[in-house]
Amino acid sequence: MPQLPGTDLTVSDLCLGGNVFGWTADEATSFAVLDRFMDAVDPQPVFVDTAESYGDGTSERILGGWMAERGLRDRVVVATKASPGRKEHPLSAGEVRAAAERSLRNLRTDVIDLYYAHFDDETTPLDETLQAFDELVRAGKVRYAAASNYSAKRLAEAVETADRLGVRGYVALQPHYNLMERAVYEDELRDVVAGRGLGVLPYFGLARGFLTGKYRAGERVDSPRAAKAAEYAGERGDRVLSALHEVADAHGVPMAAVALRWLADQPTVVAPIASARSVEQLADLLPMQDLVLTDDQRQSLTDAST
């Protein structure tokens, strides 16, 4: 089982994205997806990622309702985020405290396992933000703090600030990273993360669904993400899809599983995040857990996406 560096959190190979709960998946469907995910990752912990901004708390409430109804809180590693919303200073101490309390109520839990700053907030001093997260950890309301969507410069500053203040600081980063989105993470963020021993949990692991192979040029797909996913279509996208198809055929698994396995195999990555709006979609993701790529296959994917 993967372990988040510098913590006692062991997680599943795949982190299930909760952004679809209450959006493209209603409560009953979300419960069914979570039930299937729990069965598939057993005996690993159920690792689920959500945020206060997903459906204005609806995603958190669905996850909290599922954990309460199934009596499974002790089997779930819950990651959620303090999101900007319409806040003037989203990472000020008062806003962080208030956001955490809302999330705790929504999730029906006493503690958040991994609590992110959803986006950087340059209007609030890093000292204030990091001390606010540290207070939540010391109060037992949060186990570990993390950052999402930080630049390399600001992430390095946050790490240095935590050291100076003598507080725990961020243990993980959630960046936008996948076979189609590599440059920002690999050229800028990865050195900071590796140098400080942070764990990485990339979102949009399937490039908004493009890496499933559904969004080829000229094809129409009924999905709210179709327009964004279609932006990856083109010469480079075709190369990546062809490489994915070849590897997937060799293993007899869906292309989505190969894309997620490539991501999970990258240095510093602990577990990729991907969502499913149905049990059928989830079935395409789950084979990544047992999939073992050869060095040549991994390199072919890397070369195709360069």
Which residues belong to the active site?
54
Residue 236 tokens read as 């480079």
Residue 240 tokens read as 């990546």
Q: Rounded to whole angstroms, how far apart are CA atoms 153 and 208?
A: 26
Q: Determine phi and psi for 140, rounding to 5 degrees.
A: 80, 15
